[in-house]
């Protein structure tokens, strides 16, 4: 049985990772994990870590950096930030979400941020909870960080991973509106 042990900010039962290299304090420390791993292996038990690579917690350091950074910055490019559509064509107001995608939990899959001046800013994608911003897997830095996370846990001795939301890692180019006439399994 796999369950999330990575450090989370509990918005979704452990699926909003705040730090991919720490154990959630609910389960102890990294040293406790290492001890459990050693004991499990001694008993012939394989240990699989539940990995959530589609999104992080909104409390993750990267997302906090992204919120503080300017639109178009490398920090924001780690996530799926987009300008909104104009409510009044040509106005540049960006009041509408970038597309019509819905969150798995209901409501829009986009949340608008505030700029440094407090004015409404860009939108970020969250296929799940608003506290779970989607990572941008087109960004090489994101892919390299996940390789590093996998290596971190493999070097500790874990035997494998269950990859949560693997289907969400690749989004359709351009993030077009979902055509409601399509079968549900072809939607975002």
Alpha-carbon Rg for the chain in angstroms: 18
For 90-117, what is the mean pLDDT?
Answer: 91
Mean pLDDT of the chain: 89
Residue span of the structural domain in which 159 resides: 6-56+137-166
- Tell whether 52 is covered by a domain: yes
**Residues 14, 99, 75, 49: what is their CA dihedral angle, to the nearest 10 degrees?**
20
DSSP class per residue in 129-157: -TTSPBB-TTSHHHHHHHHHHHHHHHHHT
- Tell whether 113 is covered by a domain: no
Determine the Cα–Cα distance for residues 5 and 16; give it in Å rounded to an integer. 11
Task: Give the predicted TM-score (pTM) of the model.
Answer: 0.87
- Tell whether 30 is covered by a domain: yes
Count of domains in the chain? Answer: 1
- Tell whether 35 is covered by a domain: yes
Q: Give the distance, in angstroms, between the CA of residue 94 and the centroid of all CA atoms in the same chain.
A: 23
- Tell whether 107 is covered by a domain: no
- Tell whether 19 is covered by a domain: yes
- Tell whether 143 is covered by a domain: yes
pLDDT at residue 47, as a whole number = 96
- Tell whether 161 is covered by a domain: yes
For 99-127, what is the mean pLDDT?
Answer: 92
Q: Mind listing the pLDDT tens digit for each residue in 15-34?
A: 889 999 999 888 899 999 99
């Amino acid at each position: 049985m796999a369950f999330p042990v990575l450090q989370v900010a509990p918005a979704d039962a452990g699926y909003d990772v705040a730090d991919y290299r720490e154990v959630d304090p609910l389960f102890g420390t990294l040293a406790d994990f290492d001890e459990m791993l050693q004991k499990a292996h001694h008993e012939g038990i394989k240990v699989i870590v539940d990995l959530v690579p589609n999104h992080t917690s909104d409390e993750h350091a990267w997302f906090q950096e992204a919120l503080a950074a300017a639109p178009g910055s490398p920090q924001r490019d780690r996530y799926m930030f987009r300008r909104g559509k104009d409510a009044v064509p040509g106005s540049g107001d960006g009041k509408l979400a970038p597309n019509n995608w819905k969150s798995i939990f209901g409501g829009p899959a986009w949340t608008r941020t505030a700029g440094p001046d407090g004015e409404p800013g860009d939108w970020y994608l969250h296929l799940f909870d608003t506290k779970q911003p989607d990572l941008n897997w087109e960004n090489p830095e994101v892919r390299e960080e996940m390789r590093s996370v996998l290596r971190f846990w493999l070097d500790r001795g874990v035997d494998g991973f269950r990859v949560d939301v693997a289907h969400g890692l690749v989004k359709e180019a351009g993030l077009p509106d979902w055509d409601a006439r399509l079968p549900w399994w072809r939607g975002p």
